[in-house]
């Protein structure tokens, strides 16, 4: 969904959320907090707008659909990708390969600190395809990621 009051000519970024992120606010609030996916999307749209960007937020529980979103990002020449691939971060070589193939500046986000959790979460295939990775900041990690992506793209906040 594309939202916000940014100009039609604004560059678009994709914010991709993977499996179980539709359950934010319900699933393990002690780990992921009480914010919902709608809260994440609102935060992303508002933050992107501060840089004159449009955030196109998408969520899927299916690996192949996330790959299709990445391929679509290439076809539509989006400026960047913010991805929280959830558990697929730790298992999906296919997501890694899709991100590498499209050569779009990408930042990986995790709501929790994956390095303070189970050892199987310490490795991330998607992080290896991204120029930066953020974890442990809660949903504020998305705001930080968009700010970092804008800096990478040499875009300054608009006043």
- Which residues are the active-site residues? 32, 110
- Contact in structure between 3 and 41 (CB atoms under 8 Å): yes
**Cα(46)–Cα(132) distance, rounded to whole angstroms?**
21
Rounded Cα distance between 2 and 10, Å, is 12
CA atoms within 13 A on the CB side of 91: 7
Rounded Cα gap, residues 83 and 108, in angstroms: 5
Calculate the alpha carbon distances from 41 to 24, 98, 115, 117 in Å: 12, 23, 25, 25
């Amino acid at each position: 969904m594309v939202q916000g009051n940014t100009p039609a000519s604004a560059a678009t970024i994709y914010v991709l959320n993977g499996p179980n992120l539709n359950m934010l606010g319900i699933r393990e609030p002690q780990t992921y907090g009480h914010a919902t996916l709608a809260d994440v999307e609102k935060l992303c749209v508002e933050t992107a707008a501060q840089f004159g960007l449009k955030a196109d937020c998408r969520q899927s529980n299916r690996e192949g659909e996330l790959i299709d979103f990445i391929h679509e990002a290439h076809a539509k020449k989006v400026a960047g990708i913010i991805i929280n691939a959830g558990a697929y971060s730790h298992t999906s070589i296919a997501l890694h390969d899709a991100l590498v193939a499209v050569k779009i500046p990408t930042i990986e986000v995790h709501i929790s600190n994956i390095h303070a959790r189970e050892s199987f979460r310490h490795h991330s295939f998607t992080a290896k395809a991204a120029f930066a990775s953020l974890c442990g900041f809660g949903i504020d990690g998305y705001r930080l990621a968009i700010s970092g992506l804008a800096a990478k793209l040499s875009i300054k906040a608009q006043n």
